[in-house]
Chains A and B, each alone.
Chain A
Amino acid sequence: MTQASTNPGSDGFTASQAKASWSFLRGHLREYGILFALIAIMVFFQIATDGILLKPINLTNLVLQNSYIVIMAIGMLLVIVSGHIDLSVGSVLGFVGALAAVMIVQWDLPYLLAAVLCLAAGALIGMAQGFWVAYFRIPSFIVTLAGMLVFKGLTLWLLAGQSVGPFPAQFQLIASGFIPDIFGAEGLNLFSLVIGLVVATAILAFAIRTRMSQAKTGAPTEPFAFFAAKHGLIFVALVYMSWLMAGFRGLPNVFIVMALLIAIYSFVTSRTTIGRRIYAIGGNEKAATLSGINSQRLVFLTFANMGMLAALAGLVFAARLNTATPKAGVSFELDVIAAVFIGGASMAGGVGTVVGAVIGAFIMGVMNNGMSILGIGIDWQQCIKGLVLLAAVIFDVMNKKKG
């Protein structure tokens, strides 16, 4: 007697779950396709580099190298969802790094005060640009193209064409420090591992709670098998990553900052009224305005937020290089914008997720890193990245047409 004949109910259940999960996945290919792409790319490079990619030291580097792109991609996602674009972020990053260097190195300001002032300066820059975009309807492409030139110029002026550094050790910790291990275990940063476990568990618990309350109201949800597989995978991936990094020096400070930003902005975009309204503006500004949404103010705030995040990225980048150079941030805006579009955002606005943008940034990051390890020249790296961007967007458009 086979299992199937003694217990047809459970087998039928499994089969129907598998089928439901598969059809759910096909229906949501746009959302999950990008995640599979990241996994595929990681597997590819893990094999191609003989396992160097996921070595603890390389993984840590990967996070550090891409932190400032990820931070800016979060802000850019909001800008693009609202139907605009910000080309100035690379220059703003460079300018704020220069500002920090001048304040800390030349004026001897306390680094904390300088950091706060720098963030404020970034927000002000964002407001200055957002003001014209939101209230005077000047196309954001042009306003921020102007901003890109202006702040590139101001960076040169501020640094008088020189590099300024080094920063005090305390300041460098933003980018190159690791969270301390309060347990002091040998060869393993146990505290980092614990944090990883706690966060992974919290995400899982949160997902289960949401699912249960959705079930109560009868809202349609993912098939159970899909839900279980997805969150199982996320749980394992998070724990595995923190275990890997715990094996090197633990979680980098900037990783914590990034994780917090991802969590906060994911929540803001998907769950709050502000987030919902920004999507509505990007989806149909006229309808949003006629629904009583103050679209001008929200667009203005979106740019202010972008400026602040670009400033934060500027601090991280300056701290990482331990010097401010006039060339900092050149063409970063292109990587940031590419990350957001690879992550599924739409040029027309109204579509995109924070997590998607972050995954997009890591796709670019993993490819940079993997291709460098393989010794592929910068020439071919550029070509391949360009083609990946094009392919991602084509996939998106085709998928939308089909849907």
Chain B
Amino acid sequence: MPTILEMRGITKEFPGVKALNNVSLSVEEGEIHALVGENGAGKSTLMKVLSGVYPHGSYSGDIVFDGEVRAYRGIRDSEADGIIIIHQELALIPLLSIAENIFLGNERARGGIIDWRRTEARAAELLEQVGLRESPKTLVDDLGLGKQQLVEIAKALSKDVRLMILDEPTSSLNETDSRKLLDLLLEFKAKGMTSILISHKLNEISRVADTITVIRDGAAVSRLDCAEGISEGRIIRDMVGRSLDNRFPERVAHAREETALEVRNWTVRHPIHSERRVVDDVSFHVKRGEVLGIAGLMGAGRTELAMSLFGRSWGAGIEGEAWIGGARADLSTVRRAIDAGLAYVTEDRKTYGLVLDDTIRRNVPLAKLEAVADGLVVNRNREAEVAERYRKRLNIKSSSIEQEAVNLSGGNQQKVVLSKWLFADPDILILDEPTRGIDVGAKFEIYTVIRDLAASGKAIIVISSEMPELLGVTDRLYVMNEGRFVAEMATEEASQERIMTAIIKSGEEAA
């Protein structure tokens, strides 16, 4: 078969990070090509380079499509060649109809006036092709996620697609919908269409893929031909097989006997789809001086678990008990959770962590403002002292405490958020993806803070999708998948293979 796409030596750098390092990818016409790798390995970056989201010139290397070198300046350019991406977060507009969504930006119109009859007739044909039995006039909002995914595919088909890229298409689908979607892919393949499938679910990949490219740390590490019979173990090894050198401070066990926090039978439902249990009957504990890790893939329910514990900041119909220091704790509001000794450092520091337009001085004391105030009046000197103290302690690189958070780099923003919670002086600190998007140096500093806090008797819970990080910094691990804790292990006995296997096994059992 001829090669339809060849990406040669793609290198893409962000300030301070090399996201892709000389990656090559070759896709043959009419095949299903799977792209696998851990979160943050560089899969999405590679696809953004391909689709022109990162325009020509912002990366080095060549994209050869249909035998010609292409220079895409935006999604419109790549779509004109028939390269269509379907993102993990669906890009549909809920209050428009199926037909309107399919032809959004590509309307069937003459002189700016939409030809509704042609729109709906063509939409009906496309829906037939993807096997979706719905009227084109139905609102997307009224469809389940599985059907919405099919609308996305119909939308791709409407654009004369030659190469369809699906980014984690089944991550939010149930088993039946996933199977239907994969069958559809096979059907398209039989008709000669090429697709790239990005997925974590190795069982799905081994079912449909012809070729697998494994990406790790921004490099393509292997290209596997499925005709030769590839074991899942082999793929996992390629995905995670990096060595852990000195990227973590030395681990000294500080865990004490007293349990700092115990959670029993915690269940959290989705705020809108209340039948979905995003956290399902989870029980766990963490000891004082212990660093506890929660591993899992994106969407496993870890952030939801943490936020629901922290003052019911996420979810609905929360059930279960939390015990702190031998007494049942009231965590019903954020204030009460803080007073009970809990702190939550969010994974999304810009949305949930910082007041971006405010200075370091004003951000740091925010969670415990009364501690820098005399009665109701903020003591600006004490506030400045506190901010300066944390700026030095966490080595926040900034001109002064008067620098606005928005002008700091990601790592330093994260340190400001961390400062805020250190100043609140919690007993139990939950860190959600504490090093996402941060360079290696800042990561080490944050790991050191984590170990120091544990040494001082705090209980730390680290949620992370980077397994090496969990293995490097924690004492004990839980593995979470699809809302449940599916495995517990001492970090000494844990390995990336064991964690991945636990996730995949539990996924297959559920299926």
Contacts and interface: CB of A to CB of B under 8 A. Distances in A.
Interface stretch (B195-203, B243-251, B363-371): B363-371
A389 to B, nearest CB: 22
Interface in A232-287: 271-274, 276-277, 279-280, 283-284, 286-287
A283 B350 CA distance: 11
Contacts of A272: 373, 376-378
A216 B381 CA distance: 9
B456 to A, nearest CB: 22
B352 interface: yes
A52 to B, nearest CB: 42
Nearest to A268: B376
B357 A350 contact: yes
Contact of B355 (A220, A292, A350): A350
Given A276-B369, A287-B352, A292 B335 contact: yes
A290 B367 CA distance: 8
A287 B424 CA distance: 15
A191 B300 CA distance: 73
Interface in A199-251: 213-214, 216-217, 219-220
B357 A283 contact: yes
B355 A287 contact: yes
Interface residues of A, number: 27
A291 B420 contact: yes
Given A219-B384, A283-B355, A350-B355, A288 B376 contact: no
A351 B338 CA distance: 27
A273 to B, nearest CB: 5
B366 A220 contact: no
Contacts of B424: 292
A283 B378 contact: no
Nearest to A280: B355
B196 to A, nearest CB: 35
A64 B402 CA distance: 39
B366 A271 contact: no
Contacts of B366: 276, 280, 287-288, 291, 293
Contacts of A10: none
Contacts of A280: 355, 358, 362, 366
B335 A213 contact: no
Nearest to B310: A290
Contacts of A216: 381
A403 to B, nearest CB: 9
A331 interface: no
A291 B334 contact: yes
A95 B374 CA distance: 39
B15 to A, nearest CB: 20
Interface string A37-67: 0000000000000000000000000000000
Contacts of B499: none
Interface string A108-145: 00000000000000000000000000000000000000
Given A217-B384, A219-B381, A273-B376, A290 B358 contact: no
A274 B373 CA distance: 11
B381 A217 contact: yes
Given A220-B400, A273-B373, A350-B357, A289 B381 contact: no
Contacts of A382: none
A290 B346 contact: yes
A294 interface: yes
A217 B367 CA distance: 23
Nearest to B348: A286
B313 interface: yes
Interface in A350-381: 350-351
Nearest to B307: A290
B232 interface: no
Contacts of B362: 276, 279-280
A345 to B, nearest CB: 13
Nearest to A294: B335
A291 B357 contact: no
A216 B380 CA distance: 12
Contact of B334 (A220, A271, A292, A351): A292
Nearest to A283: B355
Contacts of A351: 357
Interface in B166-190: none
B400 A289 contact: no
Nearest to A217: B381
Contact of B385 (A217, A276, A294): A217
B430 to A, nearest CB: 11
Interface of B: 310-311, 313, 333-335, 337-338, 344, 346, 351-358, 362, 366-367, 369-370, 373, 376-378, 380-381, 384-385, 400, 402, 420, 424
19 contacts: A217-B385, A220-B402, A272-B376, A273-B377, A276-B366, A280-B358, A283-B357, A284-B356, A287-B351, A287-B352, A287-B354, A287-B366, A289-B313, A290-B311, A290-B344, A291-B366, A292-B334, A292-B338, A294-B333
Given A287-B354, A290-B310, A294-B333, 11 more contacts: A214-B381, A220-B402, A272-B377, A276-B378, A283-B355, A283-B356, A287-B352, A287-B366, A290-B344, A290-B346, A291-B367
